[in-house]
Amino acid sequence: MAQRKSKKTNSNKTDCSRTGMTLIDLNRCFNEHLFYTQGRLPLSATLNDHYMAAAYTVRDRLLHRWVCTVRDFIREGVKVVGYLSAEFLLGPHLGNNMINLDIFDEVREASENVGRNLDAMLDHEEEPGLGNGGLGRLAACYLDSLATLEIPAIGYGIRYEFGIFDQEIRDGWQVEKTDKWLRLGNPWEIPRPEVTYEVKFGGHTAGYCDDGGCYRSRWTPDRVVRGIAYDTPILGYKVNTCNMLRLWKAEAVESFDFASFNVGNYYGAVHEKVYSENISKVLYPNDEQIQGKQLRLEQQYFFVSCSLQDMIRLHLAIGKSLEYFHEEFAIQLNDTHPSVAVAELMRLLVDEHHMDWDTAWHVTRNVFGYTNHTLLPEALERWPLRLFANLLPRHLEIIFEINRRFLDEVRVIYPDDEARIARLSLIDEQGERYVRMANLACVGSRAINGVAKLHTELLKTTVLKDFYELWPEKFSNKTNGVTPRRWMVLSNPGLTRLIRSRIGGGWIKKLDRLKRLESYAGDDAFRREWQAVKTGNKQALAALILERTGISVNPDSMFDIQVKRIHEYKRQHLNVLHVVTLYNRLRRNPGLDMLPRTVIFGGKAAPSYYMAKLIIKLINSVADVVNHDPAVRNRLKVVFFPDFNVKSAQKIYPAADLSEQISTAGKEASGTGNMKFSMNGALTIGTLDGANVEIREEVGADNFFLFGLTAEEVARIKSEGYDPRSIYLSNPDLREAIDLIGSGFFSRGDPDLFKPLVDSLLYQDEYMLLADYQSYVDCQDRVSEAYRDRDRWTRMAILNVARMGKFSSDRAIREYCREIWRVSPNTVEMEDFGDLVR
Ligand code: GLG
C-alpha cells in the first residue's frame, strides 16, 4: 500500500482525488453522490437530494481528515480531552464545514452548476438542537475551537431523538412542537453499531471477599441497556484536525423478550425495547432547573457510563495501564449533569478492573475538571437518596465511601466544625436526604472553574465557598468565548468581507488581531461601508420577520434585540416595561420626535415555567396593541420572533443595533449571546453581570451602555429588606406602565391575565426590576440620543468589534488546555490513502 504524506496543511490539492478540493473534484463528487447515494438524476433531484449530495460531498472531505487524525491518536499516543456534556447545541453543519474546509465559494459554484441555490440548501438543513441554550452552545463552540487549535478531543453526549422543542406562537402563547430533526436522515453522523457498551440499572449489591482477601461489592442489576455510538466529525478551521463528537443512543439489549412473545404477549415483549429506548428519546427542555426526574438521572448515568467505558477501552487499546489513565485523558464535566462520572469511574476501576481504592481515587481525582455554569440555587442538582439508591445502588455505596474518607480529611482540618462538615458533605442530611452533585463534582475533580470573572468570584464567596476555603488552588476562572467561525464568518459574510478588505483574514484564528480595525473607526469611507453592511443585514432580518410573523418592520429604525431563553432573571419583562413607557410617551404626546425603534424578542420558555410563558404572552399582547395603534406611526414596533434557535440566531445577531443584556446583577453566570452581538457590531445595554463586566472592560466604558444595581448592591438591598411597592408608588412613569398592563389594556380588557406577573413584581420582585427600572429607562434614553448621531454610533460599533478578541472560544480553550487539561496541539498531516480508496 503506497501511502504518501502531503506536507501542505489543508491543502487545496490533496493527492487523494476522491476528496480533492478543486471545483472539478467537487462537481464530480456532488454528481456522484446525487447518483449513487441518493439514486437521482439531476432532472428528478429534489432540494433534499441536492442538500444530501452537498452534505456527503463535504463529509467525504471531513472523513479524510478524520482518518488522518485518528491515525495520529493511535500512532502518537497523544493526550486527549474528553468533554462530557448532556447538551451539544451544534446548529447546522453544512455551511460551517464549508467555511472550515475553506471551500465555501467552490461549493456554491458546484451547487449552482446543478441549478440549485446554495442558500436554499443551507436553509433546508434541520439543525441538531441537542441543547437548551448557552451551556449546550458553549460546548459546541468549544468543540470548534479544540479542533481549530489542533487539540485531540472527543465530545461525549446523548443522541436525543428529539432535541429542544420547536416553538410556535398561537394567539400569543408558546406552543411546543416535537423537534423531528432526524426526519430526513442525518448525513453528518456515522452509526457505529459495533461500538456498544452495556449500562446497568437498579438491582442490589452484595459484599464478597476476592481471591486476595479484599472486601469487594458485587452489583446485580435488574436492568441492562445498551448504548450505541453515533459519531459526528468536527473539523477545525483550515487545519487537518478532525475530532469527533460521539453521541450515545440507548437500545434494548434484547429487542424481544421471547418468553413473553411465545405466550402471546406481544406488547409485553416489546416493552423492554420501548423502555430502554426512552433513555435517549428526548432532551429535557429546562435550562436552569431540574426536577428530580428519574429519567434524567438515567440519561446522565447512561451517557457517562458509555463514555467512560469507551475512554477506558481506547486507553487499553494503546497498551497502557489504567494507573496512567489520567495522563492520557483529561475529562471535563460540563456542569454537574455528568458528575456521576466520579462514582462511575471509581466503580469501573475498582469493581471491573480490580484496582485498589487508593490508586483508583488518585486516577479519578486527577482526571476530572468541573465547570460550574450557574449560581441559581434551584439549578443545583440534587437527587433524592431513595431515587438514587434504587437506580444506582452501587454508586451510592461508592459515594458514601468517598464521603466518609473526605469528611475524615475535613475533620482533621476543621475539628469540631460540624456545620461546615454538614455543608461540605456529599449528602444533604437536613430533612429528606439528597445526593449533592456539585459537591461530588468538587471532591472528584482536580480543577473547578466558573465561566466569567464575576461568576467565579461569586462561586468562591457563595455556593462553593466551603470548597474554596478547603482547596483554593483548585479554583480558577475561564471566561466563556464563542467561535468567530460560526458567529462572524458564516453568519455575517458582509462584515467578514469588509474586515478582510482592510486587515486580511488572520483574525479568524487570532481574534485579537481585530484590534487593527481601531484605526478605521475614524475613517469615513469605512464607516459608510460598515453602515451599508449593517443595513443589508437588517433588511434580510426584516424580510425574515415578515415571513415568520407577518409584521413589517422598518430597517431604518433602531433594531433593539433581546434573544435568549425566557427567564425572570433575564428580565425580558423589564424590556417590556420600557416598551410600554415609550408607548405611554407617544400616547401622551402624539407629535413626539422619538427615535424609531423596533424591539425584537426571541427565545423559548421551559414548557413547565408558567411565568416565562406568561412573559411571552405579554410581549405578544403588547406587540399587538402597539403595532396596530395608528398614533404610534411606525415609531415603535414590537416583534416576538418565534422558534429562536442557532439557525435564526445566525440571521439575528448580525442585524442588531442594540444588544439587551439586562439580567439582575449576579444571576447570569456569563452569557454568550452578549459576545455574539458585540462581535457583529451591536452596542450593549447591560448590567454589571456575567461576562458583561469583561465586555465593558474590553470595549471601554464609553462604548457600553451601563445601568442598574451591582451584584453587591442587589445582595445588600435584599438583606436589608427590599420593598418594590414603595418604588412603584413613588415613580409615576413606572406606575403608569405597570397599571396599564394590570388594567387589561393589552389583554382585551381582561385584568386577570397578567395579574400574576404584575403581582409578582409589586409584592416580591425577586429579580428587582423595579429597583432598576429608572436607571434602565434613563440609559435607554442615552442610547436613543447616541443612535441619532450615526457616525458616533458606527465608531462605537467598530470599536466594539475591534476589541472583542478576548471573547473567542479559542482564547478560552487555550486557557483550559494550559491550566486545566495540560494538553498540547498535535498537527495532523494529510496522507493519501489513494490505494485504499481507489
Ligand atoms: C449557563 C448560564 C449562562 C452561561 C452558559 C455557558 O446560564 O450564563 O453563559 O451556561 O456557560 N445554563 C446556561 O446557559
Alpha helices in 600-652 (DSSP H): 610-628, 646-652
Is residue 657 within 8 Å of residue 463, measured between CB atoms? no
Distance CA 742, CA 582 (A): 17
DSSP 535-560: HHHHHHHHHHHHHHH-----TTSEEE
Q: Which residues of 228-258 are buried (b: 16+ CB within 10 A; e: fewer)?
A: bbbbbbbbbbbbbbbbbbbbbbbbbeeeebe
Residues whose CB falls within 8 Å of the CB of residue 596, separated by 6 or more in sequence, listed in order: 554, 556, 557, 558, 634, 635, 636
Residues whose CB falls within 8 Å of the CB of residue 342, separated by 6 or more in sequence, listed in order: 364, 368, 402, 440, 441, 443, 444, 445
Question: Given pLDDT bands bounded at 50, 70 and 90, which one contains residue 198?
Answer: very high
| Average pLDDT value for residue range 420-429 | 98
| Average pLDDT value for residue range 626-635 | 94
Question: Given pLDDT bands bounded at 50, 70 and 90, which one contains residue 345?
Answer: very high
Q: At what angle do helices 732-742 and 572-588 cross, to 10 degrees?
A: 100
Residue 42 has pLDDT above 90, yes or no: no
| Average pLDDT value for residue range 807-834 | 95
Least confident of 24-28, 596-600, 810-814: 24-28
Is residue 563 within 8 Å of residue 649, measured between CB atoms? yes
What's the pLDDT score for residue 8?
40
Is residue 450 within 8 Å of residue 442, measured between CB atoms? no
Q: Is 135 in the pocket of ligand 1 (CB under 6 A)?
A: yes
| 376 C-alpha to ligand 1 centroid (Å) | 11
What's the pLDDT score for residue 836?
64
Q: At what angle do helices 572-588 and 610-628 cross, to 10 degrees?
A: 20
Q: Is 482 in the pocket of ligand 1 (CB under 6 A)?
A: no
Between 710 and 292, the higher pLDDT residue: 710
| Average pLDDT value for residue range 345-369 | 97
pLDDT in tens, 719-733: 999 999 999 999 999
Mean pLDDT of the chain, nearest integer: 95
**CATH no., domain 77-91+127-478+819-831:** 3.40.50.2000
Pairing state of beta strands 434-436 and 427-428?
A: antiparallel
Residue 57 bears catalytic tag: no
Question: Given pLDDT bands bounded at 50, 70 and 90, which one contains residue 679?
Answer: very high
CA distances from 193 to 60, 79, 159, 201, 228 (A): 20, 26, 14, 22, 6
| Average pLDDT value for residue range 728-756 | 98
What's the pLDDT score for residue 310?
98
What's the pLDDT score for residue 15?
47
| 510 C-alpha to ligand 1 centroid (Å) | 24
Q: Is 199 in the pocket of ligand 1 (CB under 6 A)?
A: no
Do the two domains 77-91+127-478+819-831 and 491-714+769-809 of this chain adopt the same fold?
yes
Question: How many Cβ atoms from other residues are within 10 Å of residue 756's Cβ?
Answer: 12
Interface predicted TM-score (ipTM): 0.98
Q: Is 287 in the pocket of ligand 1 (CB under 6 A)?
A: yes
What's the pLDDT score for residue 290?
64
| 669 C-alpha to ligand 1 centroid (Å) | 6
What sign does the CA torsion over 509, 510, 513, 515 have? positive
CA distances from 447 to 79, 463, 475 (A): 17, 16, 6
What's the pLDDT score for residue 591?
95
Question: Given pLDDT bands bounded at 50, 70 and 90, which one contains residue 275?
Answer: confident
Question: Given pLDDT bands bounded at 50, 70 and 90, which one contains residue 1?
Answer: very low
Alpha helices in 86-148 (DSSP H): 94-101, 104-113, 118-124, 134-148
Residue entry with cell 415578515: 546
Residue 257 has pLDDT above 90, yes or no: no
Least confident of 287-291, 579-583, 781-785: 287-291
Residue 373 bears catalytic tag: yes
Q: Is 134 in the pocket of ligand 1 (CB under 6 A)?
A: yes
| 372 C-alpha to ligand 1 centroid (Å) | 9
What's the pLDDT score for residue 372?
98
Can you read off the three cell numbers belonging to residue 179? 423537534
Ligand 1 pocket check: which of 670, 676, 687 to mutate, most ligand atoms within 8 Å of Cβ?
670
Residue 806 has pLDDT above 80, yes or no: yes
Residue 379 has pLDDT above 90, yes or no: no
| 570 C-alpha to ligand 1 centroid (Å) | 12
Catalytic residue among 33, 455, 570, 578: 570
Of all residues in the chain, the percent with pLDDT exceeding 90 is: 89
| Average pLDDT value for residue range 524-535 | 98
DSSP 258-299: HHHHHTT-HHHHHHHHHHHHGGGTB----SS-----HHHHHH
Q: Is 309 in the pocket of ligand 1 (CB under 6 A)?
A: no
Quote the DSSP letter at residue 42.
G
Q: Is 276 in the pocket of ligand 1 (CB under 6 A)?
A: no
Alpha helices in 453-571 (DSSP H): 453-461, 465-470, 484, 493-503, 524-549
Residue 564 bears catalytic tag: yes
Partners of residue 82 on adjacent β-strands: 154, 331
Partners of residue 245 on adjacent β-strands: 155, 232
pLDDT in tens, 531-562: 999 999 999 999 999 999 999 999 999 999 99
Residue 570 bears catalytic tag: yes
Question: How many Cβ atoms from other residues are within 10 Å of residue 11's Cβ?
Answer: 13
Residue 474 bears catalytic tag: no
Is residue 113 within 8 Å of residue 29, measured between CB atoms? no
Catalytic residue among 347, 394, 527, 564: 564
Q: Is 678 in the pocket of ligand 1 (CB under 6 A)?
A: no
What's the pLDDT score for residue 431?
92
> Residue ranges per domain, the chain?
77-91+127-478+819-831, 491-714+769-809
| Average pLDDT value for residue range 694-700 | 98
| 480 C-alpha to ligand 1 centroid (Å) | 9
Residue 209 has pLDDT above 50, yes or no: yes
Question: Given pLDDT bands bounded at 50, 70 and 90, which one contains residue 291?
Answer: low
Residue 565 bears catalytic tag: yes
pLDDT in tens, 166-185: 999 999 999 999 999 999 99
- Whether domain 491-714+769-809 has CATH 3.40.1050.10: the reply is no
Catalytic residue among 597, 676, 696, 811: 676
| 287 C-alpha to ligand 1 centroid (Å) | 9
Question: Given pLDDT bands bounded at 50, 70 and 90, which one contains residue 261?
Answer: low
Q: Is 603 in the pocket of ligand 1 (CB under 6 A)?
A: no
Least confident of 18-32, 146-160, 619-633: 18-32
Q: Is 374 in the pocket of ligand 1 (CB under 6 A)?
A: yes
